Amino acid sequence: VHIAAVCSGTNAEMVKRLGADEAIDYRIGPFADQLATQGKFDVAFDFVGGSESERGAARVLRRGGQFITACGPMAGIGDRKLTCCEFSGWMCGVMGRLMKSMCCCCCARVTYEFAGGMPPLKARDFNAVVIEAGIRPEIALEVPFTEAPLRAALARVASRHTKGKVVMNMEHAEMPSREAAAVSHAADVRHEEVEEIGGDANEVSNEPSVQ
For the residues 138-151, what does the mean pLDDT come to? 90
Separation between Cα atoms, residue 9 and residue 29, nearest integer Å: 12
Residue 79 is predicted with a pLDDT of: 80
Residue 24 has pLDDT above 90, yes or no: yes
Nearest to 31 by CA among 55, 12, 65, 62: 55
Separation between Cα atoms, residue 52 and residue 125, nearest integer Å: 35
Residue 199 is predicted with a pLDDT of: 41
For the residues 55-82, what does the mean pLDDT come to? 89
Residue 82 is predicted with a pLDDT of: 87
Question: Exposure pattern of 104-115 as b/e (b: 16+ CB <10 Å)?
Answer: eeeebebbbbbe
Q: E-strand spans in the chain?
A: 4-7, 22-25, 41-46, 61-69, 111-114, 139-144, 165-169, 209-210
For the residues 176-184, what does the mean pLDDT come to? 49
Residue 204 is predicted with a pLDDT of: 37
Separation between Cα atoms, residue 20 and residue 1, nearest integer Å: 10
Nearest to 40 by CA among 22, 19, 20, 58: 58
Separation between Cα atoms, residue 14 and residue 164, nearest integer Å: 10
What pTM does this model have? 0.69
Edge-to-edge strand ranges of the sheet holding 111-114: 22-25, 4-7, 209-210, 41-46, 61-69, 111-114
Task: Give the pLDDT band of residue 137 (cuts 50, 70, 90).
Answer: confident
Residue 117 is predicted with a pLDDT of: 61
CB 44 within 8 A of CB 66: yes
Percentage of residues of the chain with pLDDT beyond 70: 76
Residue 198 is predicted with a pLDDT of: 40
Residue 147 has pLDDT above 50, yes or no: yes
Residue 60 is predicted with a pLDDT of: 94
Query: Which of 22-36, 155-169, 182-196 ranks highest by mean pLDDT?
Result: 22-36
Q: 93: which residues sit within 8 A by CB, 6+ positions away?
A: 72, 73, 74
Determine which of 69-78, 90-99, 122-131, 159-168 has the lowest per-residue pLDDT on average: 122-131
Task: Give the pLDDT band of residue 127 (cuts 50, 70, 90).
Answer: confident
Residue 120 is predicted with a pLDDT of: 66
For the residues 3-16, what does the mean pLDDT come to? 92
